[in-house]
Chains A and B, each alone.
Chain A
Amino acid sequence: MATIVEWISVLLALAGAVFCAISAFGLIRFPDVYMRSHAATKSAALGVLFILGGAFLYFWAVDGAVDARLLLAIVFVFLTSPVAGHLNGRSAYRSGVKMWKGSVRDDFKDVLEKAGTSAPDAAFEKEKPKLP
């Protein structure tokens, strides 16, 4: 029983490492910020989740200890990594970073123009909260 779970956790950790490596390749190979953010956010988060899940299974099967911190870390990474990617892409767009020249579609630009704030920074300046 424990051997099977050990094998499963080994496979999970290996899959996670492979996902992280693919994410790193994406960071090097993709042409613009948005695609790189896509690679860094999704596959790296999935890789980390797999590695954490493998570690959780291993300690559960071998030591018999349910490590709630690993479960909490899985939930935490799952929640925060997409939001971090969203904020990266959003702040890059708002500060005027150009998309790759092969891009064919930009819906956010239409929305910003409809709101009367076509300049990338103007919308942000208007929304900026006043500090006391």
Chain B
Amino acid sequence: MPKGSDIFLQNVSKIVVFLVLAFALYLFFTGHGSPGGGFIAGLMSAGALLLLALAYDIETVRKVVPFDFKLITAIGLLIALGTGTGALLFGQPFLKHAFGHFDLPLLGDTELHTALIFDLGVYLAVVGVTMTILLTIGEDR
């Protein structure tokens, strides 16, 4: 990529990518009580990476996020399946979720729910699938 050919887009997307990723993180954690969740957070993260791919090129995205996105999809599905089968270990039906209140060092009294882990699986699967589609279409081969 030649330097200075798209200097506005490149410099602004450097900032905007972090804004979008932060908002995706917010949507991911707020999903229980207000609109949001793993699906939309995954789509927004993939959108941030797509913006990076538009401003720079696909090689840059591969360098910034050096993971195989097909593997990320598989890991996400395994996590979602793991939260489902984890309930079986406690003698509960499949996909039975549990929650509890914990005293975390900085956050204080926090309600932690196993649905968040399931949502993490959804998030990883959505990011993986979307980025695989985008990169496969984008590459000229």
Contacts and interface: CB of A to CB of B under 8 A. Distances in A.
Interface stretch (B11-19, B107-115, B116-124): B11-19
B9 interface: yes
A127 B57 contact: no
A20 B114 CA distance: 45
A4 B9 CA distance: 40
B9 A83 contact: yes
A72 interface: yes
Given A83-B9, A127-B5, A131-B57, A76 B139 contact: no
A102 interface: no
Interface in A78-103: 79-80, 83, 86-87
A67 to B, nearest CB: 11
A76 B48 CA distance: 13
Q: Say whether chain B's binding surface is mostly helix, strand, loop, or mixed.
A: helix
Contact of A75 (B5, B8, B9, B19): B19
Interface residues of B, number: 18
A76 B16 contact: yes
B141 interface: yes
Interface string B9-51: 1001001100100010010000000000000000000000000
6 contacts: A72-B23, A75-B19, A80-B16, A83-B8, A127-B2, A131-B57
Interface of A: 69, 72, 75-76, 79-80, 83, 86-87, 127, 129, 131-132
For the complex of A and B, the 10 pairs showing the least CB-CB separation, nearest first, are: A131-B140, A129-B1, A83-B12, A127-B5, A127-B2, A129-B57, A86-B8, A83-B8, A79-B12, A83-B9
